[in-house]
Structure 1
Amino acid sequence: MDRMKKNNIGLDILALLAGVALVFAFAPFHLPWLALVSFAALFLIWSRSTPLRAAWRGFLFGSAFYGVGLHWLFSTLGGVDESFLPILTIAMTGLVLANICLPGVCGYIHVSLSRQRSPLISVLLFASVWTLGEWVRTWWMTGFPHYMAGYGFIDTPLAGFAPYIGVLGLTFFVLLAGGLLALGLIGPGKKMRLSAFAALLSLFLSGTVLGHLEWTQPISQPLEVRLIHGNQDGERKFRRYKVIDTIERYLAMSQIEPRPDLVLWHESSVAYDLKGVYRFLDAQVDSLREAGTELLLGSYIERDGKSYNALFVGAEPKLRYLKRHLIPFGEFTPDIPFLSDMGDMPNVAMDALTSGPSEQGLLRVKGVPLASSICFENHFGNELRYDWKDAQLLVHVSDVSWFEETWLPEQSLQIARMRALESGKPMLHATNKGISAIIDPRGGRTR
């Protein structure tokens, strides 16, 4: 009995350690091999557990992984109005707990389905159940697919699968590789272990071959581009008296010789309703256009009593992309009775934005069609891929100034690189604070 108790405690501790190790597979650490070790450990832990024990150990794994990995979410609380602090704290805690509980649910399902199955079938179920859980995270509670396993493998041979099956499919192969590694190490019988290692090697070789195939066409018209990395203080930029100062500073940077074909300003670079600064900005945009430079800028627009976060071509309100996937409690307030009973939400315009229509025409610059995304919605490749077919260039703008001292800026770049790799299209990734980059069609950061 004592031996069994010690064994259970040992597996519980191993689940915690495996969860912590998985954090280091992602940016800013970039140690993807730790993901294979972590998932191999989790597979072995679950294979030695009852369904209820697997649920508990999955919860421990999730507590360590998401508890450490998502700690940066709470960095925003220091700048929040005190009246809003309890509501936002509860919302963020609920989001983290929902992510923590999901591995427990996956553990219960996996062990229940794997009883009396062959080891290879068990590995397939392991990868399938976890991937199903990741799919749930793309839409549950409006979706929060952060730390999807495939993102950590952007710089590995397995990334060759991404253009064909996306990051969700790549996640399946990462979990499959972890399970095969476990079988290769301590599978039943020498033949099984050799077969597992052979399958693991084949997986990486297949990814390598696929990664060298060309399956998209280069951009029809080369563009000289410039990204304006504002480095503005997140609070100051929303003060009205700073808006014109910011525009003048960004215009000065946009006009530096040699003049590019396209200048891209980050999300909410004009932190005001665009119509309010139209007369001032329009003349400046015309001057840029006469010199051969088109301008894309992030701003807001009000239409029919509704406000939108948008990306505009120049200062023309009608040439725009309206953000579709908004951030709960950041850009809109969900209608949750329990939270609404705690008191009034703060009267802040950004917390009352409206989602743009699901289908929007592509923006065009110099005849080049652009697929646009703003901030958080770049996490949702499944929602953006409908624009990729007809686009030749991806444009992503964001502002992560609330999280500038955390891991998020580098993780956002990692996610942006995956979008470029999935689509086979180059991406312009412009941020205020964070990391701005030009990304090639294979997901490589060129500048």
Structure 2
Amino acid sequence: MTKVSILTLLSSLKSSLVNKKNWLSFITGLSLVFAYAPFSQWYLSLFIPAIVFYHLAKQPPKKSAKLMFIFAFGWFASGISWVHVSIDQFGGLPLTVSLGLMLLLCLYLALFPALAAYLTAYFSNKKQLNLWLLMPFWLISEYLRSVVFTGFPWLSLGYSQIDSPLAKFAPLIGEVGITALVILINVCLVKIVYSLKQNSKNTLTYPIALIFMITTLSYGLANVNWVQVTGKTTKVALVQGNVAQSIKWAPEQEWPTMLKYLDLTRVNYDADIIIWPESAIPAVEPAVQDYLSTVNQSALLNNSAIITGILNYNFETKEYFNSLIVLGNKQDEDEQGYYYNHNNRYSKNHLLPIGEFVPFQELLRPIAPLFNLPMSSFSRGNYMQHNLIAKNLHILPLLCFEIAFPHQLAANLTKQTSLLLTVSNDAWFGNSHGPHQHMEIARMRALEFGRPLLRSTNNGITAVIDHHGNFIARIPQFEEGVLKTEVELVTGVTLYSLWPRLILVLMIIIPLILNVFLQTQEKKEH
């Protein structure tokens, strides 16, 4: 690199650091974390992005992308800071290296909103940014974020609205549709400000009308019942073992942990279904057959069913699977409940990079302990699998990270599905906002698909959610305990559960058509 090019680079860097718009974008991005759980100030999502959108106007594509990139970097830097807890505490890396990895992750995620801004500016005319295009391009970029490199769709804007009036749209258009509405409201606010600034009352009509229409529909949808309560209930018990991550896989803790779950269960056999969290049994399934047989017989004697997380090892293919199995669950007099390789099981499909599989492992594993975490060499289960069956109920399972992928849930939903189940071990992330955001995502799935949801975790948040996405019951984090409650069963389907991919496509195409109309009207009024 020549001396001139270095000086040019340094000059550009200095210019960026003193640019007020850049700092404003970064700070507004940082503040967006408060819209999500555990802070849950949902209204922030409805105007904070507008601050950046306002400054995108009259910017060429590259500058628009740069401003959005800075905003998104702040958004992810604060929003997923909880990831650093696991890297720092269990990765075995120096602080500077772990912070560097977090920096790279946030920079990568910021590329997707930046892409949306770039495309919006690129397809606008040279004189004025067409903000109406931002909504469809944002959805396209968010879809890419959910699939590229296995996907990381965390902090999608729609999740922040689980407790807002916009949540009523979830059974109709899903979280993706709510994200589109959040972007649309922010764009409308910018349009209103520009109209007032230019003293153009005529251009106020459409953004105000759109916000009014969205508000009216949200309250109207509150009266729509997508599914119906059947009058039947089932009693559930969710066990939270609160086993510290630092000792979870220690060999000497294997039996104490298994006995702890059995002891917590013994006094709760009056429940129909008992749930243990992800990898509650810290051993491979073939190695603990005597223990599993004992638990199975105990559940059978008490006419109950236990669903537990466990690791399975296939000796023929030499593959590990992160699995859920059903113990007990006597369906008839000849039923013996669980036995090894019983088909009443589920194996995780959507694995978490680094945590459950290591890409380019031959290259990365020798570098640092981060790439050799316990149980980080899993194989994928099938994308579509049978629901688990417990006490004659069909239960759709998703393991940990999978709850963030609605299309996978939709692919496995059947007319017989009574409950959604997600189990997790968020002990990796300590007392951060990560587990709260995880719970927020799970609540959105219950609302989108109109089914009660059970969420059992090692150290919280363990909770039961109704088909409206509201808490029925929950127990505190970092406490050993059992959550017992009754769950009302429902019947029927939501519109979103029928056509999630079609709705995504429509949420992209309809705004493009709407854009043509709005642009034509704005030109006439100017």
> After TM superposition, is the score higher than 0.5?
yes
Deviation at 1:382, TM superposition (A): 1.4
SS where residue 222 of structure 1 aligns?
strand
SS where residue 371 of structure 1 aligns?
strand
> In structure 1, how many angstroms separate the alpha carbons of the residues matched to 2:181 and 2:57?
19
Q: Does 1:398 align with 2:406?
A: no
Higher mean displacement: 147-156 or 19-28: 19-28
* TM-aligned CA distance change 1:190 to 1:316, over 3 Å: farther
Q: Does 1:254 align with 2:256?
A: no
Do 2:49 and 2:186's aligned partners in 1 also have CA atoms closer than 8 Å?
yes
What's the CA shift string for 1:122-143, capped at 9, x where partnerless? 3431111112111111011210
How many residues are matched? 440
What is the identity, as a one-letter code, of the residue corresponding to 1:236?
A: I
Higher mean displacement: 182-191 or 307-316: 182-191
* TM-aligned CA distance change 1:97 to 1:218, over 3 Å: same
* TM-aligned CA distance change 1:116 to 1:397, over 3 Å: same
Q: Does 1:289 align with 2:314?
A: no
> In structure 2, how many angstroms separate the alpha carbons of the residues matched to 1:151 and 1:25?
9
Q: Does 1:148 align with 2:159?
A: no
Q: Does 1:195 align with 2:221?
A: no
What's the CA shift string for 1:343-398, capped at 9, x where partnerless? 79865551111110112111111111011001111111111111223311000000
* TM-aligned CA distance change 1:282 to 1:117, over 3 Å: farther
Which portions of structure 1, spanning 4 or more consecutive aligned residues, are displaced by more than 6 angstroms?
Answer: 83-90, 116-119
What's the CA shift string for 1:5-62, capped at 9, x where partnerless? 99x9333232123212222111111112111111211221111422221111112101
Deviation at 1:247, TM superposition (A): 2.0
Do 1:66 and 1:96's aligned partners in 2 also have CA atoms closer than 8 Å?
yes
Q: Compute the RMSD of aligned alpha carbons.
A: 2.6
What is the identity, as a one-letter code, of the residue corresponding to 1:306?
A: E
* TM-aligned CA distance change 1:325 to 1:88, over 3 Å: farther
> In structure 2, how many angstroms separate the alpha carbons of the residues matched to 1:392 and 1:133?
33
SS where residue 421 of structure 1 aligns?
helix
Q: Does 1:307 align with 2:320?
A: yes
Q: Which residue of 2 aligns with 1:26?
A: 36
> In structure 2, how many angstroms separate the alpha carbons of the residues matched to 1:202 and 1:13?
34
Structure having the higher strand fraction is 2
Deviation at 1:216, TM superposition (A): 2.2
Q: Which residue of 2 aligns with 1:49?
A: 59
What is the identity, as a one-letter code, of the residue corresponding to 1:298?
A: G
What is the identity, as a one-letter code, of the residue corresponding to 1:57?
A: L
Do 2:29 and 2:74's aligned partners in 1 also have CA atoms closer than 8 Å?
yes
TM-score normalized with structure 2 length? 0.78
Do 2:58 and 2:127's aligned partners in 1 also have CA atoms closer than 8 Å?
no
What's the CA shift string for 1:414-447, capped at 9, x where partnerless? 0000010111000001111221110000111111
What's the CA shift string for 1:134-185, capped at 9, x where partnerless? 1111011210000000000011111122112221121111101111122223
Higher mean displacement: 40-49 or 295-304: 40-49
Q: Within 5 A, what are the aligned runs for 1:318-357?
A: 318=342, 319-335=344-360, 339=364, 342=367, 350-357=375-382
Q: Does 1:102 align with 2:112?
A: yes
* TM-aligned CA distance change 1:316 to 1:427, over 3 Å: farther
Aligned counterpart for 2:441 among listed residues 415, 427, 430: 415
Deviation at 1:201, TM superposition (A): 1.7
Gaps of 5+ in 1: none
> In structure 1, how many angstroms separate the alpha carbons of the residues matched to 2:234 and 2:194?
54
> In structure 2, how many angstroms separate the alpha carbons of the residues matched to 1:157 and 1:400?
29
Do 1:157 and 1:205's aligned partners in 2 also have CA atoms closer than 8 Å?
no
